[in-house]
Amino acid sequence: VWATSDRPSVTGLIGADNQVDGFSLTAIRAPGNPAPAQVTAGAFDDKGRRIADATLTFAPGEANATGTMAVPFELRNDFASIALDGEHQAGAVRVLDESSKRRRVGLLSQAEADQAQPLLSPLYYIRRALQPFADLVEPSSADLADAIPQLLDQKPAMIIMADVGTIPAQVKQRLVDWVDKGGTLVRFAGPRLAAAGNDDDLLPVRLRSGERALGGALSWTTPQAVTEFPKTGPFADLSPPSEVTVSRQVLAEPTPDIVERTWATLADGTPLVTGMKKDKGTLVLFHVTPEATWSNLPISGSFVEMLRRIVQLSRNQGAAVANAEAKAVSLAPYRMIGADGMLTPPSPDARPLVPGAGPLPVTLENPPGLYGSETGVFAHNLLDASSTFAPLVRPQVSLPVTAIPYAFDESENLKGPLVAVALLLMALDTLAVFWMGGLLARRPRRAGTAAATAAAVLVVLGGLFGHADLARADDSKPGDAQAIEDISKTRIAYVITGEPGVDSISRAGLEGLTRFLIEKTALEPGPPAGVDIAKDELSFFPLIY
């Protein structure tokens, strides 16, 4: 971590977690500091605007500090990065991706006993699995005609239906439209769904009527285990739960596309989880109940991971990155975090990153930053939850050691010295040609003339070397500073008329146009500039009023 010497202590961000009641932050500093300290963290959106703050306090002698940004989750979902004030280094910046955003998930069940006996509710295990990383909403009524509109009015990213049979026609089309626009509908099987028939277009596969029982007194089959997850599905990198068995399920009709729609299968080849894209949305079906009557999947740890993967798929632009994580697809460098903590274009040395299930190390080939594209990014930060700061220790050697501080060297203009060297080499080459041709031996007078010419060239070269600094100083011209300022940021210009009233109106109008562009577009122009069309350079400005 690079930091300026005027900072009393280097601090960094090792955690940023979007929790139920706020955005939790964790910062670290070098250990052994006995003084208390406070740092301020700011959250920024994708346009660089600061939209939230939090104060983190280090207790005396403590190396860790925590704080919370207590803002609504809609605002938290706009966070693109978090940075510590006054810390201009890569460890104090944390970029965020879709995995840091919470999604609102609607839960729906037709069971009347949900409120009276919550432990027997079909939604009990779903609530426990999703509550740590999603905002859960439920309707006040079990009547589907009222419950579905209530959920849709709260604009959820995903809706989970626990054993919902026939959906009323008056609300079904609205639910279909919500899926087509990008919603994710997850359904769980049960007696109601098994009896509803297979004419439901809000299922990823057609179902056979009734249910299939395994391992019963009148059955020749035994409960089935879960096999390896298909490599093309969102659960590809998960290990199949060896302890999970299924004793009852709803069966899918065999169709040509059943294999590509299967996300999890049983040992006998029948689907356990199926899914498909529907326009911009996704339909998912668990072929078992959401509680432990048909399978012990809901009480396993794999159930939590499977639901979490589906929530990641429901996110607006994060589906591409979520699929890349599941399929181990490489992501190209998009924006890198520089040593000063600013996002910059990737360097030629940066290589694609292959996201995995565990933390990824930061290397020269995979520096910290964002990987992916405008449609979806993966955040690769410098520090993780296990990171600590330790000062550099000077090695103990017998030889004298001189400490050289880090500094930004000024650039040197080598044009003069390089031209001088080229002229010197040309003069030496000319003398060599004269000597090889015998001109220096046969014609001493001409040789003396050539030597005198070479001496004159050397004198000129000495003047070039001696006045290199003057040549470098002559490179700067009056008005260069203003030209650099004009091209450093897009600016709209207006012609200065000399009339204060007219010039004031022109500037005020262009300031309003500039604010409109900042609010409505991705362009962030600088303040308007007044120009004299007779003297100033006009090519720097895209629009002149």
Chain mean pLDDT for the chain: 83
pLDDT at 453: 57
- 141: in domain: yes
Q: 135 - beta bridge partners?
A: 104
**118/194 same-domain check:** yes
At which of 354, 380, 406 does a domain end? 380
| pLDDT number for residue 4 | 57
Do 275 and 140 lie in one domain? The reply is: yes
Helix intervals (H) in 185-244: 191-196
Residues in the chain: 545
Residues 130 and 43 in one domain: no
287 and 146 housed in the same domain: yes
Residues 120 and 136 in one domain: yes
305, 350: one domain: no
Q: Is 456 part of any domain?
A: yes
Question: Is residue 107 in a domain?
Answer: yes
- pLDDT tens track for 117-147: 666 678 999 999 998 888 899 998 888 999 9
The CATH number of residue 135's host domain is 3.40.50.880
Report pLDDT for 199: 60
Q: What is the CA radius of gyration of the chain?
A: 34
- What is the mean predicted confidence (pLDDT) over 250-254? 91
Is residue 226 scored above 70 in pLDDT?
yes
pLDDT band for position 473 (50/70/90)? very low
**What are the tens digits of pLDDT across the range 336-364?**
999 889 999 999 899 999 876 567 889 99
* Residue 275 DSSP symbol: E
Q: Which of 284, 286, 288, 264 is nearest to 214 (CA)?
A: 288
Residues 85 and 223 in one domain: no
Q: How many domains does the chain have?
A: 4
* Calpha distance 45→82 (Å, rounded): 9
Residues forming a β-bridge with 87: none
pLDDT at 303: 95
Q: Which residue has the higher pLDDT, 283 or 33?
A: 283
Token pair listed for 325: 């994580």
Q: Is residue 65 part of a domain?
A: yes
Residue 443 lies in a domain: yes
In this predicted structure, what is the pLDDT of residue 360?
A: 85
What is the band of 472 on the pLDDT scale with cuts at 50, 70, 90?
very low
Q: Is the pLDDT of residue 95 over 70?
A: yes
Residue 328 located in a structural domain: no
Highest mean pLDDT among 208-222, 318-332, 345-359: 345-359
pLDDT at 456: 54
The verdict on 93 and 25 lying in the same domain is: yes
Residues 238, 360 within the same domain: no
Give per-residue pLDDT as tens, 284-297: 999 999 999 999 99
pLDDT above 70: residue 194: yes
Residues 162 and 295 grouped into a single domain: yes
**Full residue range of the structural domain in which residue 494 is found:** 480-531
Q: Where residue 273 falls among pLDDT bands split at 50, 70, 90? A: very high
Q: Are residues 219 and 303 in the same domain?
A: yes
Residue 323 lies in a domain: no
- Are 163 and 200 in the same domain? yes
